[in-house]
């Protein structure tokens, strides 16, 4: 993005402007004029007979314009865009908003045309928004360079949308809810300007308080910035709420490792958002609710919620909704309770939830609010109202609005009902304030705006990933193994397990189990003697991934006799199941017991790089899926959060009288795996399962790598 | 409930009727008159000067009325209700609707008055609705015997609410959404008529298509019927949706067993609902959405959903929402796809989700619907609409309504947006049809109405619990242990573990680990031989609690020699630590290995009886809480559903190449535990953890009972 703000042009050309009201070329020009844009506007229409459009002088080409043109909006058919863009380039415009469709989205021919546009744009230093988009809106300069059917009012919400239909739905919603927008971008095919550029831009935009985005895919990297960095730098200043569509995991490809089966592409998005402080919405409804709350309510100083209600039932429902969130029911101070007792009728409940009783008028609500807002143990107040006989709906709405504006506490109204209650709802909406009809939704929104105050990325701090130093010799050793395996497995998926996998792991400073390879029965016996009994024997074959399943593993071998017998048995078992398997021999391991079985894995996401997983291991891994992911490079903070997120955190912290495990060892191992994946891009997936954790050390017991061909 | 329908009175007295418009006695009478009730109405006011109220002759007492009176509504102060009820009893009314508040809800004095009412009611065979309620409405006889501020239109939804405020909110919502009600009951304190009586009544009510209820507590038993039985018998005919408030688990009491810590009171509600086919809503919003859908839409024949949309984004969001539900995206037949291709523009997507493209008018929607509804692979159709430039919002709404009414498929509209889209929403609401603004909510509602077709209780079948026969001798033996323990632990919580617990378990036909007591070295050797090696030997001494800590346990004893050595070693160890300990001898156990660790537990709920739990056992039990509960008596069907619900079901079904465990053994054990808990009410909690499951048998390894003092 250039230093000059390309989204605030001083002059705009509309290429394909038209006098025919049904044409987009008419609608867009009209939107620009009607919006009240104060810069110069140049309609362009190749028809020489057209002299004026909507009262403005029409040009046949941008090159005929004498003055400077900063931006052009394209509405001409796809096949004519390239030539027009070339002319625009020569005219030194900075931004091309290509509304025209018929590019990548229609197939290879369109894609070729789109690539052609990119080439031209690069040549002249022009940025492209679109093609195949709705255009954009900047309310601060009254520019509506779009064919959006309605123009939003000014406000603090910036919108980015990858779907034109969602754009129109959002605008329609906003006009009903009276929500104001700062900027509104329709991304289209986004071959040039992506969400990354826009987030980066909006991050510094003073009019924008909160960014909401509907995206179907998210660029990992684009134009010299990566999502994680840009989003992190933004969310420490203002919230980003993203609805990422396309989460369903239809047609996942063949599964080659534990991590492969556990880490779908949606996990990488989840990790990405967590690590950059992005709030994820799973529906438009949530996105709207939260955007409205962020835009309208004060951010609470903490998570303690007071409830004021005119009925018990809704109070109970709200308490239910709070349970299981990061919020908690505030404990009112004795002073507060006493003051409430003095003011409220004797049958009122002066503990949280505070019940001002069914016959409460607006004044009683006001009295209660006045008292509760002064309680230092309260961060936010939910004001619940049901339409009872003597309820003053509009008066109560008005006083709550006054309070929202003047109180230093976060106050969120919940007006429950339908027809009658609408009078109250309307008043809030006229004031562009968030109001809810159901307590559950209010609680969800309040959680989002409360949580951000203390959220993962802190809105305060960015945690630096940890890098470790691996000397060249070690790195080379590993690369040799990787190269050799890629060669051996040429054309197939390359798998490294057993002794070679242990070497890689060991070179990154992780403990592995003592093991020796033995190609023959005699060697197997000799090596078993050397390691010391009991030992474990496992088949060593590139063709066998799940060794136990084919009888390729025998544990608890206690002496020489058993060692020999085990070797023969394994060979027999394996040959029976897979007679054609290439068999190298067996690997003999020191037998490890005790400890807790965890799992460390990694998978390289094509867009976002290596994703590291940690969770409960052993046989419970794929059954219980108590696993969490983050993208490399990992920070210590990331790993601590991962551990906290697991259900099995209790095992680490010491469940049922057992001693706690030392998290330090887990963090250390995870940092090593994160570095390993970054340093060796040939590795596409890896599993350590089980990763044995003891009180004072860890062992990477069973290790496996899958390489990119 | 009597055979005559007490809720359809031919004459009504209003006790406390008034001429003052602000009084409830005026409002209720007015509601009855305005509602158009065709029976006789008698206002009653003790003031002799009052001759007429709202045009009707006023009486000073019900006894002054000459004709028969079926029902009386009470609006007089609490202290006068008893006397008036006595008079009503003498007049042989059948139903007393006591709107008056000031009873149990205000404390012990009120409770005493409430109990007095019950006594009088019983004496005369009068049923009481309330006290402290809003009254009730029956739209089929135009009776509005309530002070509800609005009167609903006729329809198929019956409402039961324990909160007056929720009543008013529901009525207000209904007037906005144009939903019609068959009956509307405000329960109040419900000392007499409860939700059970009403569900039982509504079950047979022809006007009621769906029952919705807001409840803060649920009666286990009342007036000769229990919830499970009544609800089951109802849900096989019509859906019941209940919002049970008060789920938060504040201040759970001290925890005495695994089951105690896992089974909160909300688990028993969950179990109760599952076993009776009740649909649980967790918010009013869900309850309204689902009630509307059940009331308006056809029930789909299956779970295969087609999506018709005028934009890609909403289609993707809907697909996302479907994932993780019981629904699935329908695969369109080739014929359907071909027909769609012929009708729709070339850029349309003719696979599910079907994209009719942004410029779709009403006719194009109609064409697509006509084709898709004929596909046998489609059970329901979601019609998505976003407000684009050429979208015909009202026309499309009208045609969808026609389709909803005439098609044999379930069609649910989702109109996304705000102001513009409202024109469409209004048309659906005028027709009392469900319409959604967000696809996620539509999918959630569609799942509910689809799922019921094949739901747990089947809407088709009630599964009989399984009873097993235990002979008197065995039962007596167990009772002896229980009585003895209660005596031993007098005043404290009685715990039974070890050998005595095993005896109880064994008497119900479950396998426990083999164990024998041996007082001498020779006996120890002989018994070890009998059990079969390997065995475990443990000290038996009343003075030694932590046996392992003093070297009082030796495991893995492999033969006679080792057995003798172990005995001597144990004696030596114990005497060294505690020379004065009384030593009975040792207990020898069969050594158990392998198998999967599960958990069976039970807890007696004070309202709903024994609740049986099953889940993953061992150390994972309390960490992962992969446990599910059902109320006893259990049916085989219940247990199959429990197993299916667990995440660890994959372990039972054979994870990663392991052999599947035989469910038969689990079912068998659960049935036995269910019977054990029913037969021995002294047992308040029990744990079997681990419950070892093998391919061909099970062992209840560690067993524990907690008794009621």
| pLDDT tens-place string over residues A242-253 | 999 887 654 333
**Residues 113-172, chain B: which have Cβ within 8 Å of A?**
147, 149-150, 162-166, 168-169, 172
Mean pLDDT (chain B, rounded): 89
Half-sphere exposure of residue A40, counting CA atoms within 13 Å on the CB side?
15
Q: How far is Cα A62 from Cα A59, in angstroms, rounded to an integer? A: 7
The pTM is what?
A: 0.86
**Residues 284-323, chain A: which have Cβ within 8 Å of B?**
284-285, 310-314, 316-317, 319-323
Q: How far is Cα A396 from Cα A393, in angstroms, rounded to an integer? A: 5
pLDDT reading at A124 higher than 90:
yes
pLDDT reading at A702 higher than 60:
yes
C-alpha dihedral, B43 to B48 to B52 to B57, nearest 10°: 60
Q: What is the pLDDT of residue B260?
A: 59
Using a CB–CB cutoff of 8 Å, tell me whether A330 touches chain B.
Answer: no
A357 Cβ neighbours under 8 A, 6+ residues apart? A310, A344, A345, A347, A348
Q: How far is Cα A683 from Cα A260, in angstroms, rounded to an integer? A: 13
> Shortest Cα distance from A583 to chain B (angstroms)?
21
Q: Six-digit token pair at B58? A: 């006023």
Using a CB–CB cutoff of 8 Å, tell me whether B624 touches chain A.
Answer: yes
B478 Cβ neighbours under 8 A, 6+ residues apart? B503, B504, B507, B680
Please enumerate, as own/partner, the contacts of A661-669 that have beta carbons within 8 Å and a separation of 24 or more. Answer: A661/A596, A661/A693, A661/A694, A661/A695, A662/A695, A662/A696, A665/A693, A665/A696, A665/A697, A665/A698, A666/A598, A666/A614, A666/A639, A666/A693, A666/A698, A667/A636, A667/A639, A667/A640, A669/A510, A669/A600, A669/A698, A669/A700
Q: How far is Cα A236 from Cα A233, in angstroms, rounded to an integer? A: 6
Q: How far is Cα A195 from Cα A214, in angstroms, rounded to an integer? A: 10
Q: How far is CA A699 from the centre of its chain?
A: 33
Between chains, do A417 and B168 touch, taking CB under 8 Å as contact? yes
| CB nearest to A418's CB, from B177, B417, B438 | B177
Q: How far is Cα A269 from Cα B548, in angstroms, rounded to an integer? A: 50
Domains detected in chain A: 11-246 (3.40.50.720), 298-454 (3.40.50.261)
Q: What is the pLDDT of residue B610?
A: 92
What phi, psi does B188 have (nearest 5°)? Answer: 65, -140
Q: Which of A359, A325, A354 lies closest to A448, judged by CA?
A: A325
> Contacts of residue B169 in chain A, CB cutoff 8 Å?
314, 386-387, 416-418, 421
Q: How far is Cα B573 from Cα B552, in angstroms, rounded to an integer? A: 7
> Contacts of residue B78 in chain A, CB cutoff 8 Å?
none
Mean pLDDT (chain A, rounded): 89
Q: What is the pLDDT of residue A655?
A: 61
Q: Between A and B, how many CB-CB pairs are < 8 A? A: 221
> Contacts of residue B164 in chain A, CB cutoff 8 Å?
311, 358, 388
Task: Give the start-end residues of each E strand in A93-171.
Answer: 95-98, 127-129, 135-138, 143-146, 153-161
Q: What is the pLDDT of residue A461?
A: 65
Element spanning B280, H or E? strand B279-281
pLDDT digits over B219-257, tens only?
Answer: 876 555 688 889 988 988 889 999 998 876 543 334 445
Between chains, do B177 and A420 touch, taking CB under 8 Å as contact? no
Q: How far is Cα B102 from Cα B276, in angstroms, rounded to an integer? A: 34
pLDDT digits over A620-631, tens only?
Answer: 787 788 899 999
Q: What is the pLDDT of residue A253?
A: 37
CB atoms within 10 A of CB A169: 30
Element spanning A266, H or E? helix A265-276
Using a CB–CB cutoff of 8 Å, tell me whether A496 touches chain B.
Answer: no
pLDDT reading at A164 higher than 80:
yes
Task: Give the start-end residues of each E strand in A429-522.
Answer: 494-497, 515-518
Find, in chain A, the residue whose alpha carbon is nearest to that of B317: A245
Using a pLDDT cut of 90, give the percent of chain B over it: 57
Enter the ipTM.
0.82
What phi, psi does B545 have (nearest 5°)? Answer: -90, -50
Band the pLDDT of A1: cuts 50, 70, 90. Answer: very low
Q: Is A643 exposed, middle or buried (0-12, 13-18, 19+ CB in 10 A)?
A: buried
Q: What is the pLDDT of residue B454?
A: 46
What phi, psi does B208 have (nearest 5°)? Answer: -90, 120
Q: DSSP secondary-structure letter at B658?
A: P
Q: What is the pLDDT of residue A93?
A: 96
Between chains, do B313 and A162 touch, taking CB under 8 Å as contact? yes
> Contacts of residue B418 in chain A, CB cutoff 8 Å?
169, 172-177
Please enumerate, as own/partner, the contacts of B640-648 that have beta carbons within 8 Å and a separation of 24 or more. Answer: B640/B667, B641/B274, B641/B456, B642/B614, B642/B670, B643/B614, B646/B614, B646/B615, B646/B616, B647/A623, B647/A624, B647/A625, B647/B616, B648/A623, B648/A624, B648/B598, B648/B615, B648/B616
C-alpha dihedral, A158 to A163 to A167 to A172, nearest 10°: -140
Q: How far is Cα B533 from Cα B524, in angstroms, rounded to an integer? A: 13
Q: What is the pLDDT of residue B249?
A: 56
3-state secondary structure labels for all residues of B50-102: CCEECCEECECCHHHCCCCCCEEEECCCHHHHHHHHHHHHHCCCCEEEECCCC
Average pLDDT value for residue range A373-381: 96
Q: How far is Cα A292 from Cα A156, in angstroms, rounded to an integer? A: 10
Using a CB–CB cutoff of 8 Å, tell me whether A654 touches chain B.
Answer: no
Q: Which of A427-431, A538-542, A662-666, B248-252 has the lowest mean pLDDT?
A: B248-252
Q: What is the pLDDT of residue B441?
A: 94
- If one compares A125 and B226, the residue with the highest pLDDT of the two is A125
pLDDT digits over B533-551, tens only?
Answer: 888 899 988 777 677 778 8
What phi, psi does A563 have (nearest 5°)? Answer: -65, -45
Band the pLDDT of B264: cuts 50, 70, 90. Answer: low
Using a CB–CB cutoff of 8 Å, tell me whether A384 touches chain B.
Answer: no
Buried b (16+ CB within 10 A) or exposed e, A503-529: bbbbbbebbbbbbbbbeebebbbebbe
Q: Which of B517, B583, B511, B515 lies closest to B547, judged by CA?
A: B583
Q: What is the pLDDT of residue A76?
A: 96
Please enumerate, as own/partner, the contacts of B440-443 that have beta carbons within 8 Å and a separation of 24 or more. Answer: B440/A282, B440/A283, B440/A285, B440/B317, B440/B321, B441/A285, B441/B285, B441/B289, B442/B318, B442/B382, B442/B412, B442/B414, B443/B305, B443/B318, B443/B321, B443/B322, B443/B325, B443/B327, B443/B382
Band the pLDDT of B453: cuts 50, 70, 90. Answer: low
């Amino acid at each position: 993005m250039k230093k000059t703000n390309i989204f605030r042009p001083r002059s705009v050309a509309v290429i394909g402007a038209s006098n025919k009201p049904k044409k987009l070329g008419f609608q867009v020009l009209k939107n620009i004029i009607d919006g009240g844009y104060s810069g110069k506007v140049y309609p362009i229409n190749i028809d020489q007979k057209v002299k004026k459009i909507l009262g403005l002088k029409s040009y046949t080409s941008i090159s005929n314009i004498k003055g400077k043109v900063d931006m052009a909006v394209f509405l001409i058919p796809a096949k004519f865009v390239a030539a027009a863009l070339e002319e625009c380039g020569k005219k030194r415009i900075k931004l091309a908003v290509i509304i025209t469709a018929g590019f990548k989205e229609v197939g290879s021919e369109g894609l070729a045309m789109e690539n052609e546009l990119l080439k031209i744009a690069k040549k002249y230093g022009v940025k492209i928004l679109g093609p195949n988009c709705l255009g954009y809106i900047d309310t601060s300069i009254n520019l509506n360079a779009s064919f959006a059917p309605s123009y939003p009012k000014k406000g603090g919400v910036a919108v980015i949308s990858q779907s034109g239909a969602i754009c129109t739905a959002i605008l329609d919603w906003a006009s009903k809810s009276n929500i104001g927008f700062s900027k509104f971008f329709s991304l289209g095919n986004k071959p040039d300007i992506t969400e990354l550029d826009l987030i980066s831009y909006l991050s510094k935009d003073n009019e924008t308080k909160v960014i909401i985005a509907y995206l179907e895919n998210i660029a990992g990297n684009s134009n010299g910035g990566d999502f994680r960095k840009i989003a992190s730098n933004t969310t420490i200043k203002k919230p980003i709420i993203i609805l990422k569509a396309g989460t369903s995991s239809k047609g996942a490809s063949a599964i080659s490792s534990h991590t492969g089966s556990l880490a779908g592409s949606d996990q990488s998005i989840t990790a990405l958002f967590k690590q950059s402080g992005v709030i994820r919405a799973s529906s438009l409804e949530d996105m709207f609710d939260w955007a409205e709350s962020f835009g309208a309510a004060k951010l609470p100083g903490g998570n303690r919620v007071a409830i004021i209600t005119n009925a018990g039932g809704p109070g109970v429902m709200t308490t239910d909704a709070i349970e299981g969130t990061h919020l908690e029911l505030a404990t009112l101070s004795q002073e507060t309770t006493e003051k409430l007792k003095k003011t409220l009728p004797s049958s009122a409940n002066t503990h949280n939830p505070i019940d001002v009783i069914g016959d409460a008028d607006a004044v009683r609500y006001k009295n209660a609010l006045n008292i509760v807002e002064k309680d230092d143990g309260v961060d936010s107040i939910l004001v619940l109202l049901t339409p009872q006989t003597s309820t003053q709906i509009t008066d109560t709405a008005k006083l709550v609005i006054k309070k929202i504006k003047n109180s230093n506490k976060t106050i969120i109204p919940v007006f429950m009902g339908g027809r009658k209650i609408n009078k109250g709802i309307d008043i809030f909406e006229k004031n562009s304030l968030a109001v809810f009809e159901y307590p559950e939704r209010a609680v969800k929104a309040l959680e989002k705006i409360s949580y951000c105050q203390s959220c993962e990325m802190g809105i305060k701090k960015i945690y630096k990933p940890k890098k470790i130093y691996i000397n060249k010799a070690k790195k080379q050793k590993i690369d040799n193994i990787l190269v050799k395996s890629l060669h051996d497995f040429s054309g197939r998926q390359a798998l490294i397990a057993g002794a070679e996998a242990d070497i890689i792991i060991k070179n990154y400073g992780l403990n592995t189990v003592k093991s020796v390879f033995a190609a023959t029965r005699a060697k197997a016996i000799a090596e078993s003697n050397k390691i010391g009994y009991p030992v474990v024997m496992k088949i060593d074959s590139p063709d066998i991934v799940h060794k136990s399943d084919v009888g390729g593993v025998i544990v608890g071998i206690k002496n020489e006799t058993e060692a020999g017998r085990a070797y023969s048995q394994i060979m027999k078992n394996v040959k029976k199941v897979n007679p054609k398997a290439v068999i190298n021999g067996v690997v003999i391991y020191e037998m490890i017991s005790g400890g807790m079985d965890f799992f460390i894995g990694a998978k390289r996401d094509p867009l976002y790089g290596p994703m590291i997983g940690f969770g409960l291991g052993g046989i419970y891994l794929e059954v219980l899926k108590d696993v969490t992911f983050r993208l490399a490079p990992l920070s210590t903070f990331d790993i601590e959060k991962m551990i906290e997120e697991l259900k099995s955190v209790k095992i680490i912290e010491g469940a049922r009288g057992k001693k706690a495990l030392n998290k330090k060892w887990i963090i250390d191992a995870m940092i090593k795996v994160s570095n390993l994946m970054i340093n060796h891009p040939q590795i596409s997936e890896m599993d350590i399962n089980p990763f044995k954790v003891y009180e004072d050390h860890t062992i990477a017991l069973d290790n496996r790598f899958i390489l990119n061909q």
